[in-house]
Structure formats: C-alpha cells, structure tokens
Amino acid sequence: GENVEQHPSTLSVQEGDSAVIKCTYSDSASNYFPWYKQELGKRPQLIIDIRSNVGEKKDQRIAVTLNKTAKHFSLHITETQPEDSAVYFCAAGPPGGGNKLTFGTGTQLKVEL
C-alpha cells in the first residue's frame, strides 16, 4: 500500500519568515495530494490540494509543489503569522476514485513573535 513520509516533525520559524514542509510518497499511481491544517483541539481542515496533472498551485500565502518523478510534494507558507501555528498533515490519494487518503505523520509548526 501507499506510504507517506513527512518532514520535519516540528518546525519553528519567526513571524514573517517562510516555512516549508516536505512529503514523499511510495505509490507512483497516487495522483491527489491534499494538505490539512489541524489546530489544537479542532478538526483537520483542508488548506490546499494538488492533482498530478499540475506541478504547482498557489493560494495567497500558501503554495504546494509536486515532483512526480521524485515522488515528493511540498507545502510552502510565506510571510508566516502566529495564526499559522498548528499541525499540518500531507496526504496522498489514489487515481480513479475511491479517495482513500494515506496521511503523513504531521508537522507541528510554531510561528514565534
């Protein structure tokens, strides 16, 4: 089955700096890659996703890049703010429907003032 590895497990940045979280996946057939943000005690919420037919997607301060050859994808957050502090999960999903997501182990991001 699919295996998703996520790094780093913790990340501390100064407010205004950029943060990058990286994930690798094992199943070359996976073609859907969402990122979820989970604040303490709250539900995971989708912040951005990408499908394998594109290499990059941006939404304001958040961007995701995908390298299918290397089987890795990354989340980039620019101009970080204290409210960006949370746990971020990457996931990979199969083609053709079914949408069985395999999640990474999460990255605890702390944005310091």
**Among residue numbers 48 through 77, which ones bind another protein (CB under 8 A)?**
49
Residues 12, 15, 16, 18, Cα dihedral to 10°: 10
Residue 46 contacts another protein per CB under 8 A: yes
Residue 98 contacts another protein per CB under 8 A: yes
Give the nearest distance from C-beta 106 to another protein in angstroms: 6
Q: Are 95 and 31 in contact (CB under 8 A)?
A: yes
Cis before 8? omega within 30: yes
Residue 45 contacts another protein per CB under 8 A: yes
Residue 99 contacts another protein per CB under 8 A: yes
Residue 55 to residue 44: CA distance in whole angstroms:
24
Contacts with another protein, residue ranges (CB under 8 A): 4, 6, 32, 34, 36, 42-46, 49, 89, 91, 97-106
